[in-house]
Amino acid sequence: MISGTNAIGNTLSKKGNHTYKTFNPKENKDTEWTFFEATSAEIDEAVDLATEAYKEYKDFSGSKKAKFLNAIADEIEALGDELIHTYCKESGLPEGRARGERGRTMGQLRSFATLLQDGSWVEAVIEKGQPNRAPMPKSDIRKMLFPLGPVVVFGASNFPLAFSTAGGDTASALAAGCPVIVKSHPMHAGTGELVASAIIKAAEKTGMPNGVFSNLNSSGIAVGQQLVKHPKVKAVGFTGSLKGGMALYKLANERDEPIPVFAEMGSINPVVILPSALENDSDVWATKYASSITMGAGQFCTNPGLVLGLKGDNLDSFISTLSEEILKLEPTCMLHPTIHAKYQEGKKELSEQNGVTIVADYDKPTDKNIGSQTILKVKGSDFLSNTKLHTEVFGPFSVVVSCDDASQLEKILNQLDGQLTGTILGSEDELKTYEEIVDGLQNRVGRILFNGMPTGVEVCSSMVHGGPFPASTDARFTSVGTSAIKRWVRPVSFQDWPNRFLPQALQDENPLGIVRLEEGSYIK
């Protein structure tokens, strides 16, 4: 049952007077639950507890932490239909999506458990001493990765499970050995509370220290600000808007001790459709992209919000098929009235820019909070001269740019901000013909695709979900996939340390059987 309380470690707590409710966008009314915003004292308690928990938790073996992560997945499953129904109520998303996202969330947790069981992720490097080296003896030096300390995670509105309470940020930070304090997302506080209860049950069952996880309710920005400024917090994970991410990034950099903020922010995910694709597969791509643009009411960070092609009949025909196909689709409910209102505002603003034509606009009557799809068209020169058109409109929306020639298309790519993804549609040979375009695109993105759709981010070790600013605040890391663990650690060298007191990962005998770089070679 949802009680509206905060979880300060294993203790439920509602000391504050400020309450708020979540909203059911499909029924356009508040849900039945009332949530108690965390007080300043509760925030301090959670951080203090996390700091204490860190002392013990950071040294836990990979297999012990793996048991914890697997237990979280089990406990989330054990929440059963209550979780699914709460998710649907608070997000307006359909049940199939809820079940799929639950599976993804559990899969993520288990993939980090597998990573921990293998253990090689700590990047152990061993260089033994050479006491007889001339002119100076060489010390024995070994290094590996260690967790940073308590991490604050801001859940994302658009993934109430996979990017929220027990999502990729939480899973990767817990895997790294960092206690986690979640600033619960106000739009799905009930879903968050249920998931938090599963994490806490798992923590208790597997003998984790109290404080390894806390969940704090918050309807505004104050709780998040206090958390990011707290001197005992050592890193922050965030998925959301550019504005929100940059506010936290600034706060974190103004601290006496600046800390890393991994904010995954906006992206318009440019798609370049090359002549052969327009000539041979125009209808296929138009149909696929109609579906990709509207998937989840367009509320994905990898939503293809920009399509670039060379002007001509083939592009016109692509645009008309895309428009036809996208208008056949039934629009769906958005996450919240404020997101819906922002979507309406954003597409109105872009539609009114110079040179913009509306080529598809779903205009049948709909229920409240339904996100109707819209496609705009603009010439390359108008797009180039107006950066307003480069901004993300979060929803089932895309802008098709008709470029005069390849050089204008290249110029547009080189002027774009950093992006999570970039896609090339075309033939293999065109990758050579349009080398500069491909190069320009690769230089702007974290993931580049050939003949595919950017929506649907695989959780795996080769995934980069991140990208040059402002797609993320730190292009050197990914927030999806097992490499996400690298955000929460730093290397430490041990010099001439006695073997028996070294962490197991660095001991001569390699008791964990992990892959290590020893004297320049990878050895297991």
| Catalytic residue IDs | 264, 301
Stretch that binds a second copy, among 136-144, 204-212, 369-377, 403-411 (CB under 8 A): 136-144
Q: 502: left (phi > 0), else alpha (psi -120 to 50), else beta?
A: beta
Rule CB under 8 A: say whether 478 interacts with a second copy.
Answer: yes
Of 461, 486, 489, 477, give the one whose Cα is nearest residue 178: 489
One of 344, 468, 504, 507 touching a second copy (CB under 8 A): 468
One of 131, 328, 365, 501 touching a second copy (CB under 8 A): 501
Using the minimum distance from each CB to a second copy, give the nearer residue, 37 or 430.
430
Draw the binding track, 405-444, toward a second copy (x: CB under 8 A; -: no contact): -------------x---------x--xx------x--x--
Residue 482 CB contacts under 8 Å (≥ 6 apart), including other chains: 111, 112, 115, 121, 172, 460, 461
Q: For the residues of 91-108, what is the DSSP string, one character each? A: H---HHHHHHHHHHHHHH
Name which of residues 192 to 231 contact a second copy (CB under 8 A). none
Rule CB under 8 A: say whether 313 interacts with a second copy.
Answer: no
Using the minimum distance from each CB to a second copy, give the nearer residue, 243 or 524.
524
**Nearest distance from C-beta of residue 413 to a second copy, angstroms:** 13
One of 18, 205, 283, 494 touching a second copy (CB under 8 A): 494
One of 127, 283, 316, 361 touching a second copy (CB under 8 A): 127
- Please report, for residues 195, 263, 409, 453, 484, the alpha-carbon distance to residue 475 in angstroms, rounded to integers and kept in the order given: 29, 10, 24, 21, 12
Using the minimum distance from each CB to a second copy, give the nearer residue, 17 or 522.
522
Rounded to 10 degrees, the C-alpha dihedral 346/268/248/469 comes to -140
Rule CB under 8 A: say whether 141 interacts with a second copy.
Answer: yes
Strand spans (E) along 135-294: 141-147, 151-154, 180-183, 213-216, 235-239, 261-264, 270-273
Residue type, 348: K
* End-to-end alpha carbon distance in the chain: 48
Tokens read off for 208:
């984790």
Of 1, 39, 2, give the one whose Cα is nearest residue 19: 39
| Dist CA 459 CA 461 (whole Å) | 7
**Nearest distance from C-beta of residue 519 to a second copy, angstroms:** 9
Using the minimum distance from each CB to a second copy, give the nearer residue, 167 or 260.
260
| Max CA distance (Å), the chain | 84
One of 10, 34, 120, 415 touching a second copy (CB under 8 A): 120
- Please report, for residues 169, 182, 244, 411, the alpha-carbon distance to residue 154 in angstroms, rounded to integers and kept in the order given: 9, 6, 10, 36
**Nearest distance from C-beta of residue 135 to a second copy, angstroms:** 9
Angle at CA 503, nearest 5°, toward 141 and 173?
110
Stretch that binds a second copy, among 166-174, 330-338, 366-374, 456-464 (CB under 8 A): 456-464
DSSP state of 138: B
- Burial degree of 509 (CB within 10 A; 0-12, 13-18, 19+): exposed
| Dist CA 429 CA 425 (whole Å) | 12
One of 64, 469, 504, 510 touching a second copy (CB under 8 A): 469
Name which of residues 11 to 50 contact a second copy (CB under 8 A). none
Using the minimum distance from each CB to a second copy, give the nearer residue, 375 or 409.
409
Stretch that binds a second copy, among 132-140, 274-282, 312-320, 350-358 (CB under 8 A): 132-140
One of 253, 280, 385, 387 touching a second copy (CB under 8 A): 253
Residues that bind a second copy (CB under 8 A): 55, 118, 120, 125-127, 136, 138-139, 141-143, 146, 148, 249-250, 253, 257-260, 418, 428, 431-432, 439, 442, 445-452, 456, 458, 460-464, 466, 468-470, 473-476, 478, 483, 489-498, 500-501, 515, 517, 520, 522, 524
